[in-house]
A and B are shown apart, each in its own frame.
With several copies, the nearest count.
Chain A
């Protein structure tokens, strides 16, 4: 991995996947300064929100859930090279 560059996998499910028309893609953050000082979930959300109004709205729903490497986390969770970050609405299993 190049210095200052991070690549992560983004996954979207359910209504988010539908609203944004994507289910999975690689996100390469070539210049860490694109994001805030700390590369956390909040920073990734801010970065993706720049993709347009639909992204901004979808990623800023009050009940949005974020899972980092298959575990639900808060927005202050730090994201690293190779991580898998998923966004989705509240789960309705069972």
Chain B
């Protein structure tokens, strides 16, 4: 039931071990996001992640708690990186533990869909064509909206 903001790479195996503990819940779902070597239009060689630390911590903590209440999670963890990231490096890791798989899957999906649009991080891509801020995606905004309309569950 915690959040980490860090510049170091995410140790996925260590995070997993910590999340499940000695007596794991019945269903554990994890999501890991990695830096891609391309965006919609062009090649990407590096990604810079600017963030608003105090707000990011609050938004992600509130989001984990919301998911925990809504889906009855036994445990959850959100790790988000900031700073300069190379292609194929980890960006974000989310873990959810529940009694049943549907709850763990939905919690992980809710956290990721909300985090994309509501967590104060801004991506700047660097590539052969120079640097540019990444614009928010309509598809992300639409996925986020599903949770508010009650369409997703």
Interface residues of chain A, those whose CB is within 8 Å of chain B, are 11, 13-15, 17, 67, 70-72, 84, 86, 88-94
Q: Is the CB of B120 within 8 A of A93?
A: yes
B117 proximal to A (CB < 8 A) = yes
Cα–Cα, bound, A79→B121 (Å):
24
Cross-interface CB contact of B55 among A70, A89, A90, A94, cutoff 8 Å: A70
A contact patch SS = mixed
Cα–Cα, bound, A92→B118 (Å):
8
Q: Is the CB of B59 within 8 A of A70?
A: yes
Q: Is the CB of A92 within 8 A of B52?
A: no
Contact status of A91 and B58, CB under 8 A, knowing A15-B133, A86-B52: no
Contacts A11-B52, A71-B55, A92-B136 aside, 16 further interface pairs with beta carbons under 8 A come to A13-B52, A67-B52, A67-B55, A70-B54, A70-B55, A70-B59, A86-B52, A90-B135, A92-B135, A93-B56, A93-B116, A93-B117, A93-B118, A94-B91, A94-B92, A94-B115
Q: Is the CB of A92 within 8 A of B59?
A: no
The interface residues of chain B lying within 8 Å CB-to-CB of A14 are: 50, 122, 124, 133
Within 8 A of A (CB), among B6-55: 33, 50, 52, 54-55
Cross-interface CB contact of B118 among A11, A13, A72, A88, cutoff 8 Å: A72
Q: How far is the CB of B132 from chain A (nearest CB, A)?
A: 10
Q: Which residue of B lies closest to A70 (CB)?
A: B55
Cα–Cα, bound, A71→B118 (Å):
10
